[in-house]
Amino acid sequence: MPAEVGQPAPDFTLPSDKGNISLSSYKGKQTVLLAFYPADFTPVCTNEMQCFADDWSKFRELGAEILGISKDPIEKHIEFSRKLGLQFPLLSDQNQEVSKLYGVADSLFGSKRAYFIVDINGIIRYKHIEFLPIFKREDSELLTVLRQLRTA
């Protein structure tokens, strides 16, 4: 059963360009935006991650960490992160175990483009899965959800 709004977010630990990361390590500390994406260096994914980089301080001001997740290997993530100057980690889900937990695994692309906002208590408060990977959510939409969570 895929992860749904109002449910505890499935925990995981994945390698990243900044070391191993567990979702549970954020519980009680900060909100997390899980941003699943198909692949490093593709046009839409590059644009999406660059937008996150440009707005990173806005996400941080709202107490949120961004975790980018794709099936690409760590070596590719490191190169992609350096090229874009990313300050948030990119996690490698090469076996698609986490993508399957969240219901976003895709046999063609590896992962659907999807967004989950997990609150400070580890509960999924927002979920959006793009119908086609050529579309992405605007940061303004995600930031609005984060602002609403802070005032709730």
Closest CA to 143 of 37, 51, 25: 51
The per-residue pLDDT for range 85-94, each reduced to its tens digit, is 999 999 999 9
Class of 33-151 in CATH: alpha beta
This prediction has a pTM of 0.93
Q: Could you say which of 35, 45, 105, 117 is catalytic?
A: 45
Give the start-to-end residue ranges of the domains of the chain.
Answer: 33-151
Q: What is the mean pLDDT of the chain?
A: 92
Task: Give per-residue pLDDT as tens, 7-27.
Answer: 999 999 999 999 999 999 999
51 is catalytic: no
Buried b / exposed e over 98-136, threshold 16 CB at 10 Å, is bbebbbbbbeebbbbbbbbbbbbebebbbbebbeebeeb
Residues 28-37: what's their mean pLDDT? Answer: 96
More confident: 107 or 100: 100
